[in-house]
Amino acid sequence: MTTAARTALRLDASVHHERIQRAAAEAAERSVDALLITPSPDYAYLLGYHAPALERLTCLIVPAEGDPVLLLPRLEEPLARHALGELVEEIHLVPWDETDDPIRLVQTIVAGSLRVGLQDQMWARFALRLRAALDPAELVEAGPTMSALRRIKSPEEVDRLRAAALAADAAMRTIIGERLSGRTEADVSRHVRDLLVAEGHDTAGFAIVASGPNSASPHHEAGERVIESGDAIVIDIGGTRAGYCSDTSRTAFVGAPDPEFAALYAVLREAQAAACEAVRPGVACSEIDDVARGIIGEAGYGEAFIHRTGHGIGMETHEEPYIVASNQEPLRAGHAFSVEPGIYIRDRWGARIEDIVVCTDAGGERLNTTSTELAIVE
């Protein structure tokens, strides 16, 4: 990641200060005495920069009561000071030297804690050593505490998601305006990655190009198959811009669409639109899934819709809340998630339409603005 991408993530120091305070309050509410946040999206959310995840321990310690401590290898201190900006005044930096034992330092800092929350993606080598060092403290996942904060997006975060979505839309418009037959999936995929960056992403995350029978595999990896007339093509692309992710899918058909495919696609399009329409505060995540699944099921494609309707999105492509039948959580203003039903007929073809939707007090706002009509390509 470039320095520009790193600092672009940072918001006003007061925003990060408030996030750390809220993390402490959410931890207290869950009877967690301290959070140990290693380099990860959680770390970047709180501190405004991505620290490298290395064999040397970097760990933000957020106690439920008291001041946050940033324990880090001494050689990482200059980068941290630079990246933290004014926020550095609010955090107690504890640089450790090559011969120090950072686990021992954590043990000293959180001494007396009964419950400690570990960042969900912490490396096992640290988690296991911490478990031994902090015994008999109970170790729990910091995930629920952190996602209580991160699942509700501020207007500033929604702006970033919108900008990322627009950049992905521009790339999508270009790709479905091109001649695709005669090219390999891998070629088109590489081109999409370039377009994602050219349109303003800091990094291209993924570019699924699934053609012909491959379109029946939702997470197909673009390969050497040559796209030909009569193919359905699922294009699912996304990247990161100023710390926030894009993720959108459109389906194309090479040449005049087979009537059977056109019928399938019409059902999918209706289901996706209805699920987007159903978004408003108070509606359960499961209901959004149910709306899409109901329409697809009624048309006889129920068995062919083999994944959940969507996932939350923010600093990670997949995060809470998940739009799945088992999630009774009511939507709230500030939730941002994908609505991406799909229909997949094995060995034949498949289709998916994916938009990012933000729940607002007035209903759902679609961040993706490209047409959801079946794209006819050459």
Q: What is the contact surface with Zn ion in residues (CB under 5 A)?
A: 236, 247, 249, 338, 354
Helix (H) or strand (E) holding 360: strand 355-360
**Rounded to the nearest 5°, which phi and psi values hold at 137?**
-60, 145
Nearer to Zn ion, 202 or 354 (CB): 354
Nearer to Zn ion, 10 or 352 (CB): 352
Give CA–CA dist 183/191, Å, rounded: 11
In the complex, minimum distance from the CB of residue 238 to Zn ion, in angstroms, rounded to a whole number: 6
> Please, which residue, 130 or 358, has the CB nearer to Zn ion?
358
Closer residue to Zn ion in complex, CB, 286/338: 338
Nearer to Zn ion, 107 or 246 (CB): 246
To the nearest whole angstrom, how small is the minimum distance from the Cβ of residue 219 to Zn ion?
6
- Work out how close the CB of 356 gets to Zn ion at its nearest, in angstroms, rounded to a whole number: 8
CB of 215 to Zn ion, least distance (A): 14
Q: Cis check for the bond before 68: say yes or no (omega within 30 of 0).
A: no
In the chain, what's the furthest Cα-to-Cα distance? 70
Q: Which is nearer to Zn ion, 26 or 247 (CB)?
A: 247
Instruction: Kindly write down the DSSP assignment for every residue of 42-63, as one continuous string.
Output: HHHHHHSSPPP--SS--EEEEE
Least Å distance between CB 171 and Zn ion? 13
Minimum distance from residue 48 beta carbon to Zn ion (Å)? 26
Q: Minimal distance in Å, beta carbon 41 to Zn ion?
A: 16
As separate numbers, helices (DSSP H) first and strands (DSSP E) second, the chain gives: 11, 18
Q: Which long-range contacts link 285-290 to residues 24+ away (Cβ below 8 Å)? A: 285/321, 285/322, 285/323, 285/324, 285/327, 285/328, 285/329, 285/330, 285/331, 285/337, 286/324, 286/325, 286/326, 286/327, 286/328, 288/323, 288/331, 288/339, 289/323, 289/324, 289/325, 289/327, 290/325
Distance of CA 50 to CAs 8, 45, 127, 321, 370, Å? 11, 9, 20, 23, 31
Name which of 147 and 251 has its Cβ closer to Zn ion.
251
